[in-house]
Amino acid sequence: MDDTVSAAALRESEELHRITLLNMSDAVFITDDAGTFTYICPNCDVLFARSDEEVRGMGRISHLLGRDLVPPGAPVPDGEVRNIEHEIVNGRGERRVMLVHIKQVSIKGGTILYVCRDITDRKAAELALRRNEERLALALEAASMGTWDWQVPTGEMTWSPETHRLLGDFGGTRRPSFDAFMERLHPADRERVSRVMNDAMDRVSSYETEFRVVGYDSVERWVLGKGRALQNGVPLRMLGVFVDFTDRNRVERELRDLGGRLLTAHDRERLRIRDDLSEKAVQDADELAAELDGLRQQGGAAAAAQIGRLAGRAAEIGRRLHRVLDEIHPARVTGLGLGGAVRALCRELSEAHRVDINVDVAGVPDQLDPDIALGLYRIAQEALQNVVGHSGATRAIVTLTSAGAELFLTVVDGGRGFDDAARTGDTIGLMTMRERARLLGGQLIVTSKPRGGTRVEVRMPIRPS
């Protein structure tokens, strides 16, 4: 090969290099030990938004990259460093993330080769993916939803952290497998669930079914399982979610229970009203009629005293009927307004039970929404019945005030109190008070402790919500 031929071959090879470099998304630089450029690739503008001349003018690689990645004069450790993630600011002032490889070389009069690749978009995509995954994980957790993935040919299975928890494995240490899952199924549901899943696998379809699991912690949970089979001629993969609906079941049970208790209370109430009316009032009325008839037959002076006594009894019957009617529906709230009705209630109860009830009513609007007025009156009635019935207190304080757009009712006694924390679920009286307040957009708080008295506080919007 003569010189002209080899010179031409060299030129060709250099040209090939140049074209390759121009079209590459990597930028290549060579520097000497001090970091001064000895070679600059022809495609600086693609990665750094700077012309080759501009880069050459910078003189040193540290000016281009923002800092030295290899201390000047120091050798590259082990001859090569790969995958340095490094942020730069390009010629347009934008921040870009570069992946830089550094290698000890001996070409183009230099000693260190830098290969830079722009990975900004990849990093952004990775970040977006990670955020999405985090969001999904959060949503799944909030919904008590676990996921699983079963590679059928290898038998390999993965469970999301929530699936581990759902199966009672709070440390997340149990090894996921289809058999491990089957073992956790409630024995009564095992065969059915296995059939449903096998069917879905055979038909390459989805399934949905409810079952119980008995977790590693021995706690039984209700689970809704949904899954889908994927195939490629042979069973390939099955993916699914578990939803824990133990709580929903519990709430439904509680609601049913509550409904039952309310009905019982309602029936009991009716019975009591009927008893109150028929037993005592009717008996009194019968006796009164009989005695008046006797009087009519007797005539004379002795009758006068007896008539006085009977008039007293007639008045008592009237009062009793009033009380009963008032309990069925307190007409006094409409007649006297909320403030007047609460005052009358306190007066009546303190007379009947020898409890000194101090009432303070102030600033209650005259025109109140009838539901709100009745609701607050009922709450006061219920709270005061507890005071006279349970507290053993000889004094109580009732206040009814308004501030802003809200009404405030408090009923306080210094009686024996009760251990609110130790109670399991509200009993009807307390629950009805709370429900009445809630239904009208208000809030009721009961504070009580043994021997420390009881305080019932209600705040309620003046306008119905």
Q: Which residue is nearest to ligand ATP (CB)?
A: 429
Residue 454 interface partner, choices Mg ion, ligand ATP, none, CB cut-off 5-8 Å depending on type:
ligand ATP
Is the CA virtual torsion 296, 299, 302, 304 positive or negative? positive
Tell whether residue 416 is a contact of ligand ATP (CB under 6 A).
Answer: yes
Q: Which residues contact 187 (CB under 8 A, 6 or more apart)?
A: none
The count of chain residues that interact with ligand ATP, using the rule CB under 6 A, is 15
Closest distance between ligand ATP and the C-beta of residue 417, in Å? 5
Residue 433 CB, nearest approach to Mg ion (Å) = 9
Q: How is residue 280 annotated by DSSP?
A: I
x-or-dash string of contact with Mg ion, 330-369, rule CB under 5 A: ----------------------------------------
**Contact pattern for Mg ion over residues 411 through 440, marking x by CB under 5 A:** ------------------x-----------
Q: Smallest gap, in angstroms, from Cβ of residue 432 to Mg ion?
A: 9
- In the chain, how many H helices and how many E strands? 14, 15
90 binds, among Mg ion, ligand ATP, none (CB under 5 to 8 A by kind): none
Cα separation of 64 and 56, whole Å?
10
* Token pair of 415 as six digits: 């009686």
Nearest to 26 by CA among 98, 104, 126, 112: 98
Establish how many alpha carbons lie within 13 A of residue 424's alpha carbon, considering only the half-sphere containing its beta carbon.
Answer: 1
Residue 108 within binding range of ligand ATP, rule CB under 6 A: no
Tokens of 122: 């990849």
Best CA proximity match to 83, nearest among 55, 106, 62, 103: 103
Which of 215, 340, 429, 461 contacts ligand ATP by CB under 6 A?
429
144 interacts with, out of Mg ion, ligand ATP, none, CB within 5 to 8 A per kind: none
In the DSSP assignment, the letter for residue 75 is P
Contact 200, 239 (CB under 8 A): no
Q: Minimal distance in Å, beta carbon 355 to ligand ATP? A: 11
Candidate segments 75-83, 353-361, 411-419, 457-465, binder of ligand ATP by CB under 6 A: 411-419
Choice between 369 and 426, CB closer to ligand ATP: 426
Q: Which two tokens stand for residue 402?
A: 């308004």
DSSP string, 383-411: HHHHIIIII--SEEEEEEEEETTEEEEEE
* Residues 433-462 contacting ligand ATP, CB under 6 A: 454
- Which region holds residue 360: left if phi is over 0, alpha if psi is between -120 and 50, else beta? beta
**Residue among 428, 441, 462, 464 that touches ligand ATP (CB under 6 A):** 428
Are 21 and 28 within 8 A, CB to CB? Answer: yes
Q: Is 390 in the site for ligand ATP (CB under 6 A)?
A: yes
Among 418, 437, 440, 444, binds ligand ATP (CB under 6 A): 418
Residues that bind Mg ion (CB under 5 A): 386, 429
Residues that bind ligand ATP (CB under 6 A): 386-387, 389-391, 413, 415-418, 427-430, 454
